[in-house]
Amino acid sequence: MKRNIFLFILYFLILSAGLFGQEYDSQALRFLKISVENLMNGNYIKAIEYSTRVIKIDPDSAVTYVIRARAYFELGDMDKAIADSTQAIRRDRNNIGAYSIRGNAYGRKGDMDRAIADWKAILKINPDADEAKLNIEKAGLQRGF
C-alpha cells in the first residue's frame, strides 16, 4: 500500500506542470514517464534503463535519481539505491523520498546509525512524517533502546 501511494505521488509530481518548466527536454520527460510507468508496474530493469537515459539528458534531476534508487531498492541492490539516493539529496536537500529510500536501504544493510540519521532528516523536513517516526522507533527496539 505505501509503495503504491509513493509511486502515485511521484507520478503525479512528474506529470504536474510545476515540476518541469516549459523548456524541459521533451525526450527526457517522455523517458521519465516511461520510467515511472515501469516502476509502478514492477518492471524495475526497464525503470532503471529509462531513468538512466533521463540522467544522461538531465544529470541534475533529483526526481530521476529517486526513481532509479527505488528501482534498485526493489531489486535488492542496496548499494546502488544508496548511491542514487545520495545523488538525489545532493541535488535537493529536502527530498524526503531520497532520504526514505536511503534510510531503508541502510536499514536493510544493518547500518542502523545511518538509517536513523536519514529518518531524522525526514523529520526535520516534515515533523509529521509518521513512517520516519515508526522506523526510528522500530530501530530503537531492535537495538534495545
Q: Where are the domains of the chain?
A: 2-111
Q: How far apart are CA 11 and CA 18, in angstroms?
A: 13
**Residue 139: predicted pLDDT:** 87
Cα 18 to chain centroid, rounded: 19
**Residue 143: predicted pLDDT:** 60
Question: Does residue 64 have a pLDDT over 60?
Answer: yes
pLDDT band at 43 (very low <50, low <70, confident <90, very high): very high
CATH 3.90.850.10 correct for 2-111 = no
Q: Which residue has the cell 509502478?
A: 40
Q: How far apart are CA 101 and CA 118, in angstroms?
A: 9
**pLDDT tens track for 84-109:** 999 999 999 999 999 999 999 999 99
Q: Concatenated DSSP letters for 31-91? A: HHHHHHHHHHTT-HHHHHHHHHHHHHH-TT-HHHHHHHHHHHHHHT-HHHHHHHHHHHHHH
**pLDDT tens track for 1-37:** 455 555 555 555 554 434 444 455 788 889 999 999 9
Q: Which of 31, 70, 37 is nearest to 51 (CA)?
A: 31
- DSSP 8-state code for residue 22: T
Q: Residue-wise over 2-18: b if at least 16 C-beta within 10 A, else e?
A: eeeebbeebbeebeeee
